[in-house]
């Protein structure tokens, strides 16, 4: 297939600096070479221009850098939409997870029947009224599903919200108190690490795909936050949480999603090379993307 790589060097949505270097770290880990070895044609569109926090004032402490991030959502949505309409599969490299609002909006405009599999240690389901930090990367899934405050709703790009019933959070293990309540009442399907431990990653991956694609009738956007992995596998993240997916669990998930089909777009977020050792986290991310796009053991 034709794969359009879009770098979003953003860390406005997070507390810790460094995810703005994530796209470069992923490219340096031989992303294009791995995908080309699978027979894909890779079109690297470079990086979007994103302001650094030092050049802006954070503004409202409940929604830090919201004006800048909302502008990024719209620009990214337009770019992703254009690549989808040209027949390319968008592969978005983050950057902090706030960028996903633009990614999903752009794809949703084209597919018209999109579900989301959100692979993350965190819920990202806060809003400006519940957030303990004011960081937008902890509010992105709530925004995508429309479970947010009126001011954020008004700033969303066209194409959103995505129905909560077509949205699956997979791998969660660190949720805020008010966020838990919001998720319980939202209609989003949540499979925690406890569920994975009890039922196995294979069964829950298939279940997540069934829910997100409405039984294979629609397409799916896979949003992969590398902090879903155990820190022993991927330590270069800003918000590590013990007890995450193992290397093989993550690969099996990606291999199964590739086999099931219906992939509309992919996003990898929260790689932070400042906190990494010898670019290990980016290399793991590239291996997982390759599995999602068809790499097999045999």
Q: Based on the residue annotation, tell me whether 127 is a catalytic residue of this protein.
A: no
Q: Based on the residue annotation, tell me whether 113 is a catalytic residue of this protein.
A: no
Catalytic pick among 81, 96, 120, 230: 120
Q: Based on the residue annotation, tell me whether 227 is a catalytic residue of this protein.
A: yes
CB 94 within 8 A of CB 10: yes
3-class SS at 112? Answer: coil
Structure tokens at 46: 């470079």
Catalytic pick among 225, 230, 255, 287: 225
Determine the pLDDT at residue 121.
98
Give Cα 189 distance to the centre of its chain: 16
Structure tokens at 36: 């080309």
Catalytic pick among 11, 127, 227, 267: 227
d(CA 172, CA 20): 24
CB 117 within 8 A of CB 38: no
Residues 141-187: tens digit of each pLDDT: 999 999 999 999 999 999 999 999 999 999 999 999 999 999 999 99
Query: What tens-digit pLDDT sequence spans the chain (298 residues)?
Result: 999 999 999 999 999 999 999 999 999 999 999 999 999 999 999 999 999 999 999 999 999 999 999 999 999 999 999 999 999 999 999 999 999 999 999 999 999 899 999 999 999 999 999 999 999 999 999 999 999 999 999 999 999 999 999 999 999 999 999 999 999 999 999 999 999 999 999 999 999 999 999 999 999 999 999 999 999 999 999 999 999 999 999 999 999 999 999 999 999 999 999 999 999 999 999 999 999 999 999 8
Determine the pLDDT at residue 112.
86
Catalytic pick among 68, 124, 249, 287: 124
Write the DSSP assignment of 109-167 as a string of letters.
HHHSSEEEEEE-SB-----TTT-SS--GGGTHHHHHTT-S-HHHHHHPPTT-PPPGGGE
d(CA 206, CA 202): 6
Q: Based on the residue annotation, tell me whether 120 is a catalytic residue of this protein.
A: yes
Sequence-distant (6+) residues with CB within 8 A of 232 are none
Catalytic pick among 40, 122, 221, 251: 122
Determine the pLDDT at residue 298.
87
Q: Based on the residue annotation, tell me whether 97 is a catalytic residue of this protein.
A: yes
Domains of the chain: 2-292 (3.40.800.10)
Q: Based on the residue annotation, tell me whether 74 is a catalytic residue of this protein.
A: no
Tell whether pTM > 0.95. yes
Determine the pLDDT at residue 294.
97
Catalytic pick among 11, 20, 176, 270: 270
Residue 126 neighbours by CB distance under 10 Å: 29
Catalytic pick among 40, 137, 189, 251: 137
Q: What is the residue whose two structure tokens read 């060097």?
A: 9
């Amino acid at each position: 297939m034709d794969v359009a790589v879009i770098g979003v060097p953003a860390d406005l949505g997070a507390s810790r600096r460094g995810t703005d270097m994530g796209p470069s770290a992923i490219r340096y880990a031989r992303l294009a070479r791995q995908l080309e070895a699978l027979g894909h044609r890779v079109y690297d569109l470079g990086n979007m221009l994103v302001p650094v926090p030092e050049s802006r004032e954070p503004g409202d402490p409940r929604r830090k850098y919201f004006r800048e991030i909302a502008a990024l959502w719209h620009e990214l949505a337009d770019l992703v939409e254009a690549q989808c309409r040209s027949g390319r599969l968008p592969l978005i490299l983050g950057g902090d997870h706030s960028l996903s609002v633009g990614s999903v909006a752009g794809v949703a405009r084209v597919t018209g029947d999109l579900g989301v599999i959100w692979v993350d240690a965190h819920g990202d389901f806060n809003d400006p009224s519940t957030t303990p930090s004011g960081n937008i990367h902890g509010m992105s899934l709530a925004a995508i599903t429309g479970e947010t405050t009126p001011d954020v709703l008004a700033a969303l790009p066209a194409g959103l919200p995505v129905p909560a019933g077509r949205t699956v959070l997979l791998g969660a293990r660190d949720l805020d108190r008010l966020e838990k309540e919001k998720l319980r009442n939202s209609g989003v399907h949540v499979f925690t690490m406890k569920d994975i431990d009890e039922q196995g990653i294979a069964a829950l991956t298939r279940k997540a795909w069934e829910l997100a694609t409405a039984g294979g009738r629609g397409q799916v956007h896979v949003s992969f936050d590398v902090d879903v992995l155990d820190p022993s596998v991927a330590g270069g993240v800003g918000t590590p949480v013990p007890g995450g997916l193992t290397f093989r669990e993550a690969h099996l998930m990606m291999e199964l999603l590739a086999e099931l089909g219906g992939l509309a777009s992919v996003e990898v977020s929260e790689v932070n090379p400042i906190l990494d050792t010898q670019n290990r986290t980016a290399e793991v991310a590239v291996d997982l993307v390759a599995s999602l796009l068809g790499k097999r053991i045999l």
